[in-house]
Copies of this chain bind each other. A is one copy, B any other.
């Protein structure tokens, strides 16, 4: 579901096990078996997690003999950081602007003017 790339990346990283895998893959490539070892789940489950990460573009696998070493693809992170930064900045700017407004009118709390209050 939610076929778009950004959703897939966020969704992939919403799982602590998968985040941990990413963390470990940042240090070094690894095989499925190696990745599975620390967790007490089946290798199949880990394989599924890897598929999720792969579909999100976070990871690539190169066939090498019967091993399938897993490699972290860090570029996809940009997709997220760009999205996040965009709205973070927007929100911060809005906050700053609000500050300005408040500073500019130090008096007008909420009190509507007693008459002719058509200032929507």
Contact = CB atoms under 8 A, between A and B. Distances in A.
Interface of A: 2, 4, 6-7, 10-11, 13-16, 19, 22-23, 25-28, 72, 74, 77, 80-81, 83-85, 87-88, 90-92, 94-95
Nearest to A13: B10
A84 B90 contact: no
Contacts of A2: 14-16
Contacts of A4: 16
A90 B26 CA distance: 6
A90 B16 contact: no
Contact of A19 (B6, B13, B95): B6
B10 A14 contact: yes
